[in-house]
Chain A
């Protein structure tokens, strides 16, 4: 039974979505580990994480699909849970899977999902035509969804999430397997919805260029925890001139740190994503690399692996998780 809930707070503090102390466990596995984050009204918020990081579970909880083991999620001033109707109406969800009926036409699909969200009559017809126009499928609306290309299905998938004009749109990997034309179409849609209609967007992706282009802020999640959260620019700038990530013998960690910290081209030496690696921050990673290697040779210290992290979001991700985003 779905229920209406009273507002949790009468004050509009500019937060569209808030997850507070959210924990979710599958048996012994903690998929989401005490996550607290706020998505501001009108921003595009990116959620980045490798497979198995807990990203999908967190997105599902923030979509009202299931209840977290602990913690609270609110949408605007309404608490969100699988049984709260008012909060769910504010959200548009575009799942990672093509969540459509292939045997139905594009219009039939949209009419069905529109009705699910309470639309009907003239309003439903108008919204169906409007979202078909938005995603550029008006001329194919009467064709069976199963006959669409992968990119067109993705666009129809997006359209189904826009029907009821949600305040908050959650896009879960909306461009996976999409051709460049459809990808650009989706980018344009996201930017226009955010810019022209003020829709708050939570966007998960594997593609750094998408996050850099679209997101006002990004959160990086790994092992169920938020390990970094800021604007893409701030996160990139935190890398300075780049990072050299070297693999070492853990027994030599102290000696290596001491040897490299004294180099003029090195700004800081810190722990890497695991005990066998170190992050070396420099004003110019490429120039510092020569000094680092010479210092290691001089001290007879072994370097097992070397990786230069250019100052971009991919490197930020690698720095915090030790993994490529596509791993």
Chain B
């Protein structure tokens, strides 16, 4: 795996798929021009975030024209895009699709819908049921959407699946402005999570957050890439739309895994045994 990834920190318009599609196509063309291999968009990038009753109105079936237009560009660059997906059975998912060579290569449906505090996703979306790594021509990857990352099991499964990089799409609000830290508390927390998990899972983490404002809630941006040592390599500062290119380097990955072979020494069968016991109602001891 050696590839150039563009993080497209865009500002989706709520519920306006055609306007958002234009922005996506513009970003994709620019990334192709810059000879990037992959472009990643934030969570629900084609539809906007606080959709509420608009969710089912703007949800896109996988054979929709908007997604087909994106797919058509994927012969020249691999594309990860976020949208409300209308499933065949009428359920709507908070989804992230990976298009490559004109095809839908992987579809991740957000498992950990967030429905507390300011969030109400479980009311509007059905949850996904799986975490699967997939083989892109650029490497072995895993997709996660925002809250998925807050549950360590999600990325742990990808770690066990030997991914080279995790791609995390997010619609993370900006909040926490008191003086105990410099900058937004919400961004510090995210950065801590990326840095820690990249270090523990020895994987590249590509985090793409959106910007813009929906009824007074500002999305925090702060898209960034962290290397398998837990160190930031590129980032977009501030709350403006922007793009940055990262180089995901397999040599860095290899060296990190040689110096500290955490994956080699992981013992998932023990964890599986313990999980079976806990999941079947066994008491923690």
A and B held together in a complex = no
- Tell me the B residues contacting A by CB distance below 8 Å: none
